[in-house]
Amino acid sequence: MKPLIAANWKMHGDMSWRDKPAEFDKIIPRANRQNIDVLICPPTPFIAPMVLPAKRTDIWLGAQNCHAEQSGAHTGEVSAGMLKSVGANFVIVGHSERRAGGETDAGIAAKAQAVLAEGLTPIICVGESLKQREAGQANDVVSAQLAASIPHNADMKAVIIAYEPIWAIGTGKTATPADIKTLHAHIRKIVGRATRILYGGSVKPANAHSILSTPNVNGALIGGASLDMQSLAEITQAVA
Ligand code: PGA
């Protein structure tokens, strides 16, 4: 299974960041990463301007969210079809920062369904809170999220799961290799062999190798450390 190194830029950057793919490519030329998929999910306005720079450097582009419907009276929203039309191939759905704002598993499943209907790849995020982990509920929380946020009848080759323990996102705290191994094995049992499972939460060059060489970890979803191309490149180079 080809590993995926996915950058989630969140609400960072400006138009000058369209040059970041070229900057990344200088550090690791595409010939040296043919066995790894690299994806950047910039803020939506920068997707279209980045299409050419990303294509030239063999980097995929994705979005960080979409609406579940194709069109309609939804002020401020963007549909999966619109994202596809400007050049996105992947869409992150159900990130914990959005779940914290009220997104439900059912709503996330509807978004993932809309992404699949356009022939794009949803990256469905799951993960427990610190309170849930301390109560010994991490496996159960993740199972319930997977059951309710993966669309029924989805082709499991066509979806990607990102396991992101909420307490590890943007905090500098990373789950231990043992925690990651346990949770990823648990997710693997549920989703089967065909699905890529990413780990996310404070992934950085210093911990990337140990995380990426953990069984059932097929890549990483990276926030903070993905804003700097040198650190994104070092994480990419850490793929086992
Ligand atoms: P982080 O974010 O790498 O800054 O912890 C990960 C994410 O939210 O996807």
Nearest residue (CA) to ligand 1, atom 7: 223
Where does ligand 1 bind, in terms of residues with CB under 6 Å? 8, 164, 169-170, 200-203, 221-225
What residue owns the CA closest to ligand 1's atom 2?
223
195 CA to centre of ligand 1 in angstroms: 21
Any idea what DSSP says for residue 44? G
Nearest atom within ligand 1 for CA of residue 225: 3
**Alpha helix (H) ranges present in the chain?**
20-27, 47-56, 80-86, 96-99, 105-117, 130-134, 138-149, 177-191, 205-212, 229-237
Residue 227 alpha carbon to ligand 1 centre in Å:
11
Contact assessment for residue 122 and residue 112, using Cβ atoms and an 8 Å cutoff: yes
pLDDT at residue number 165:
96
Distances (CA, A) of 3 to 132, 138, 235: 29, 25, 12
Torsion sign, CA atoms 108, 2, 156, 179: negative
Q: Residue 55 Cα, ligand 1 centroid: separation in angstroms?
A: 25
- Residue written as tokens 């140990």? 210
Beta strands 37-41 and 160-163, pairing class:
unpaired
Query: What is the best residue among 41, 169, 171, 173 to mutate for testing ligand 1's pocket, by most ligand atoms within 8 Å of CB?
Result: 169
Per-residue confidence in pLDDT tens, the chain, 240 aa: 999 999 999 999 999 999 999 999 999 999 999 999 999 999 999 999 999 999 999 999 999 999 999 999 999 999 999 999 999 999 999 999 999 999 999 999 999 999 999 999 999 999 999 999 999 999 999 999 999 999 999 999 999 999 999 999 988 888 899 999 999 999 999 999 999 999 999 999 999 999 999 999 999 999 999 999 999 999 999 996
Three-class DSSP labels, 162-208: EECCHHHCCCCCCCCHHHHHHHHHHHHHHHCCCCEEEEECCCCHHHH
The question of whether 234 is a catalytic residue gets the answer no
Q: Is 118 a catalytic residue?
A: no
Amino acid code (one letter) for 200: G
Ligand 1 atom at shortest distance from the alpha carbon of 97: 8
Q: What is the pTM of this model?
A: 0.98
162 Cα nearest atom in ligand 1 = 9
